[in-house]
Amino acid sequence: MTQKELAKRLGVSARLVSQVVNERRPVDSELALRLARVLGTTAELWLGLQQAVAMWDAITAKASHVKKLRPIAQSRLLEHQIMENSPTVAA
């Protein structure tokens, strides 16, 4: 099936299909619904695939920046959560 044929079946422009195929435009909820209906899948499949692509792009593009971040120690994080959730005592 060509991009033009797929676009016609989806009821969208051939340009939109080309942009998605060439990773210049993400699959949004509406397109995911259309793809699911026409191809006999689920919208969640298409949105999940798009999310995987977005995560891969983020990991490969920003990996060095993320590695420089310092995690909060688990004990300090737990202590902070306990302090936020404890009831205040009126004086």
In a domain, 12, yes or no: yes
In a domain, 28, yes or no: yes
Exposure of 58 by Cβ count < 10 A (0-12 exposed, 13-18 middle, 19+ buried)? exposed
End-to-end alpha-carbon separation of the chain, Å?
A: 74
pTM of the model: 0.70
In a domain, 76, yes or no: no
Instruction: Give residue 82's pLDDT.
Output: 77
- Tens digit of each residue's pLDDT (9 = 90 or more) over 63-78: 788 888 888 877 676 7
In a domain, 35, yes or no: yes
Give me the number of domains the chain comprises: 1
83 or 90, greater pLDDT: 83
In a domain, 42, yes or no: yes
- Tens digit of each residue's pLDDT (9 = 90 or more) over 41-53: 999 999 999 999 9
Cβ pair 31, 46 in contact under 8 A = yes
The parent domain of residue 55 ranges over 3-61
In a domain, 82, yes or no: no
CATH number for the domain that contains residue 29: 1.10.260.40
C-alpha distances in angstroms, 7 versus 11, 15, 48, 78?
6, 8, 21, 51
